[in-house]
Structure 1
């Protein structure tokens, strides 16, 4: 494995450190910190491709009818974007740090920062202010263990701010800060959040980036 960079911060008041890495996993070259081209239409095609042909055609027909009812303006119609796209080139970015002291570094202690797909043309806007992100952490120390995540749908906060962000063919570079409130995924799935069960994370990252194939699953490096 090759070290791409590092993430340093605190988890629930405890200082922690992670490395971003690249190398071969199951015969494929992978990078734990990487960007990839993103297409809403292709994501929908991938999802529909996972179900039977009859179900797929029924689902596409329903989605097309819903898109027609919502109007032709792709900017105001997310269903139209998912079915046909609005032609805008987008980028998805993931920065995953592994715990070098964990017994299984790809499964324990990892911290992952993911940004929603953003416009390739407007990526420089990310250099200003804070931006929503999804942050997750495999906690594996102390008495409380388990998978902790952020979700804006229930009010947990997670933000990232970039000091530097370079997206170039074959890779790039990212540097900045992050902070979030992470709650056990089991509690989020039940819809009952105990604030005392949630943990606070914050820190800095500085890492080279790899480039992945379009619409490759963001979680592949975690499999």
Structure 2
């Protein structure tokens, strides 16, 4: 994975984000991006699908979870898991989310380097929104659990948009709510679905390759991948933004 993450040079990664200066806003996905919540989602799905005899009673594995579940909205998952019984599918996923919250409560941990990045964003006076396909109860649990309840200016839910990720609607709505330009905003995402949504909205997307395979993430066309928020590639890019902004201030 480390090799794949490093395929793009720091120079090209830095110059890509530098074009966004002066930066106006940063947008974040929640699950797998702010916190390492995917293991709890996987455990909840595995347990509940096993109870109903899904997959012939064989427990689903993490590869299945990444391919079938990761980043998708529950409305889409109903059709995938229960194509012939919509009502049962909705009830199943509601129960699964409740189990996720029980498993994750007080166990969720922020992604490495998140608070360092938070300080950089606050020091630069940038607007910020959380943009997610998760239900509101899950989103608020995750945000509160990692101590960011007072950090975001807006919370955008896929269910509040005409289309959820991988459509661009949630990210377009975030730009509208924050009153910022896509040309001066970038996104952090950890799933193929989320990266596609940000790219479709016309923004630069930084992918977190912490759970999902780097090769799959790169196919969704992020500007580059990072391991976490301590990754030197990220900080080289942010430093380049600072330099470009400082140069513009000096020349004007």
The structure with more helix, counted as a fraction of residues? 2
User: TM-score range, shorter-chain basis?
Assistant: under 0.3
User: TM-score w.r.t. structure 1 length?
Assistant: 0.27
Task: Return the structure number with greater relative CO, CA threshold 8 A, min gap 6.
Answer: 2
The structure with more strand, counted as a fraction of residues? 1
